[in-house]
A = this chain, B = another copy of it.
């Protein structure tokens, strides 16, 4: 992440990690307090006790900084349950995700995806740092189910994962309906039952 190293970085003073940490921490705090829209680099610099130039030296945009701060705070929490029944694992995990998205995490993720619409590179950071790791974990759980005979071998896991999570993101982002437990149950059943029945997926 951060900067592309050019030429010979073997000389001169080294990057100060204390500054780096202070900047990311200040960014995360301000993001939680006021949201991305109110986030200003001026404010981050002031709170982190850092010159603005130091931020510009290492991050190409406000979005990239916010995204990295978000990822650093959220990345460690993937955790997929592993029990005998893969379907239960998936169902349980989706309920957990739904609950998280109803809370404070929901707003930040909405904003990260929102800002990603205006900076392709920032969206790339989100996909690589947040989305893909979680998609991989979900695909692994589904794969376990296939190997245990819960679903047929022919299904395209990418499409199933999108079918499972896409509608949740959709409701998160457009707020046209609640992401409550009733919805999750009905939705997951629709998709997971569909897998067995589909001729082409």
Contact = CB atoms under 8 A, between A and B. Distances in A.
B159 A127 contact: no
A162 interface: yes
Interface in A137-186: 156, 158-160, 162-163, 165-171, 173-177, 183, 185-186
Interface residues of A, number: 52
A173 B117 contact: yes
A114 interface: yes
A151 to B, nearest CB: 12
A135 interface: yes
A175 B127 contact: yes
A36 interface: yes
A115 interface: yes
A176 B111 contact: no
A178 to B, nearest CB: 11
Given A114-B117, A135-B176, 8 more contacts: A113-B173, A113-B174, A132-B176, A162-B170, A163-B190, A166-B168, A185-B200, A189-B201
Give 4 closest A-B pairs by Cβ, nearest first: A194-B194, A114-B117, A166-B167, A166-B170
